[in-house]
Amino acid sequence: ESTVFTLAIESSCDDTSAAVLQNDKVLSNVVAGQKIHEQYGGVVPELASRAHQQNIVPVVELALRNAGITKNQLNAVAFTQGPGLLGSLLVGSSFAKSLSAALQIPLFAVHHMHGHILAHFIDEAGFDKPTFPFLAVTISGGHTQIVRVDSHFSMTVIGETTDDAVGEAFDKTAKILGLPYPGGPLIDKYAAEGNSKAFAFTKPKISGLDFSFSGLKTQILYFIRKKQVENPNFIEEHLADICASVQQTIIDILMDKITLAVAETGITQVAIGGGVSANSGIRKALKATESERGWKTYIPKFEYTTDNAAMIGIVGYYQYLSDMQVNQNVVAKARIQM
Ligand code: KG4
Ligand code: ZN
C-alpha cells in the first residue's frame, strides 16, 4: 500500500493552521490563534488577514518539522477554498498554490464544512468512525448546520441557521454578561454550578430543520436590562443560574432540531463537530440518546473539531484517492456551495 503525505492549510477565519497527514493519520496539526481580536469582542477581518500573512510560513515549517518530514516528501497540498473571510482565505490559497507549483505535486481545494464533516474519518485511537449514511451536525462560532452524509463526497445540507450561529449565541450572551471573548467556554464553566431552570427563555419559532438564534440574544439582553433596573448586581449575584438557563435553552433548541432530523431521515447516527461540540451540556444530552433512544453518536478529538488544518487534510487525502485535483486557476471564495 502506498503512502500519501498531504500538507493541508486552513486559514478561513482567525486561526492559521497547517497539518501533515500520512494517509488518514495526522502526523502534525499546528494551529496559531490570533489574540489580537479579543479586545474587539469578535474577529476583525483586516487584522486576521495580516496575522495570517505573518503566521503562514512559520506555521507550515513547524507542521513539517513536527511531522518529521521535508517538503520534498509531500505528495499533495490541500487548502480551504471557502467559505470564510476572503482576505484570510487568500493567504492560505496563494501559499498552497505556489507550494503545489514549486513542488509539482497535485493541489486540492477543500470546502471548509466538508472538513468539519470528514474530521470524523481521521484515524485516531479511541475514536470510532461513523458509517454511511449519518447526520453531521456542525456547531461553532461560524456555523450551525445539519448535513445528511451519504458518502465521503455526497452530502446534503438539510438544516442551517438563518441568522446567528450557535457559537455566536453563546459569545453574544457572554458579552452581555461582561465575560471576555470567546465566552462559550466560560458560560459552560459557570453553568456547571447553576440551576438550568432558574430562568425561562423561549425557543425561537422556526419550522423545519433550520435554526434562528438572533432572537434569543435580544431576549436575553432585555431580560438582563429589566432585572438590572431592580437589582444593579443582578449579573454578579446570579451568574451561574443565568449561564445554566441560557445553556439549557440552547441545548434544547439543538436537540429539538436534531431529533426532528433523525425522525425525518430515519438516520440514527449523529456526528457532531465544531467548537461548540466541546460544550459539556451538549455532550451529555447527546450521549443520553444512545441509551434512551438507541442512537449512535460521534464527537471527534477536540483538536480536530475546532478549526484546524488536519480536517482539511483528510478531505484532501480522499480527493487524492479519487483524482479530484484542481489546477492553478482555482480561486478562494468567501461564499461557496457545498
Ligand atoms: O470551531 P471554532 O473553534 O471556530 C469557529 O467558530 O469556526 O468554534 C468556536 C466557538 C466559539 O463561539 C466558542 O465560544 C464556542 O465555539 N465554544 C463553546 C465551548 N467551547 C467553544 N461554546 C459553548 N461551550 C463550550 N464549552
Ligand atoms: Zn469552522
Q: Which long-range contacts (CB under 8 A, 24 or more apart) does 66-73 make?
A: 66/20, 66/27, 66/28, 66/30, 67/5, 67/20, 67/22, 67/27, 67/28, 68/27, 69/5, 69/20, 69/27, 71/7, 71/99, 71/103, 72/103, 73/5
Same domain, 50 and 190: no
**295: containing domain:** 130-299
Nearest ligand 1 atom to the CA of 305 is 1
Q: Whose CA is nearest to atom 8 of ligand 1?
A: 275
| pLDDT in 10s for each residue of the chain, 338 residues | 689 999 999 999 889 999 999 999 999 999 998 777 777 777 888 888 898 999 999 999 999 999 999 999 999 999 999 999 999 999 999 999 999 999 999 999 999 999 999 999 999 999 999 999 999 999 999 899 999 999 999 999 999 999 999 999 999 999 999 998 889 999 999 999 999 999 999 999 999 999 999 999 999 999 999 999 999 999 999 999 999 999 999 999 999 999 999 999 999 999 999 999 999 999 999 999 999 999 999 999 999 999 999 999 999 999 999 999 999 999 999 999 88
Ligand 1 pocket test: pick from 140, 250, 251 the residue with the most ligand atoms within 8 Å of its Cβ: 140
Q: Find out whether 219 and 202 touch, Cβ atoms under 8 Å.
A: yes
Please name which of 17, 2, 1 lies closest in space to residue 305, comparing C-alpha atoms.
17
Q: 87: which 3 cell numbers?
A: 482576505
How close is the Cα of 197 to the center of ligand 2, in Å? 31
Distance 288 CA to ligand 1 centre (A): 22
How large is the angle between the packed helices 234-265 and 184-191, nearest 10 degrees? 100
State the ipTM, two decimals: 0.98
> Which residues are placed with Cβ below 5 angstroms of ligand 2, an ion?
140, 307
Q: What is the dihedral of CA 275, 145, 214, 206, to 10 degrees?
A: -150
Do 163 and 45 share a domain, yes or no?
no
* CATH code where residue 262 lies: 3.30.420.40
Q: Provide the strand spans (E) within the chain.
A: 5-10, 16-22, 25-32, 76-82, 107-111, 134-139, 144-149, 155-160, 269-273, 296-298
108 and 250 in a single domain? The answer is no
Strands 296-298 and 144-149: what pairing?
unpaired
Q: Are residues 25 and 73 in the same domain?
A: yes
User: How far does the centroid of ligand 1 lie from the alpha carbon of residue 305, in Å?
Assistant: 10
Instruction: Using DSSP bridges, classify how beta strands 107-111 and 16-22 pair: parallel, antiparallel or unpaired.
Output: unpaired
Provide the pLDDT for residue 162.
97
Task: Provide the number of structural domains found in the chain.
Answer: 2
Q: What is the largest CA-CA distance in the chain?
A: 70
pLDDT for the residue numbered 34:
79
Nearest to 332 by CA among 90, 98, 79, 56: 90
**Centre of ligand 2 from the C-alpha of residue 143, in Å:** 7
Identify whether 327 is part of a domain.
Answer: no
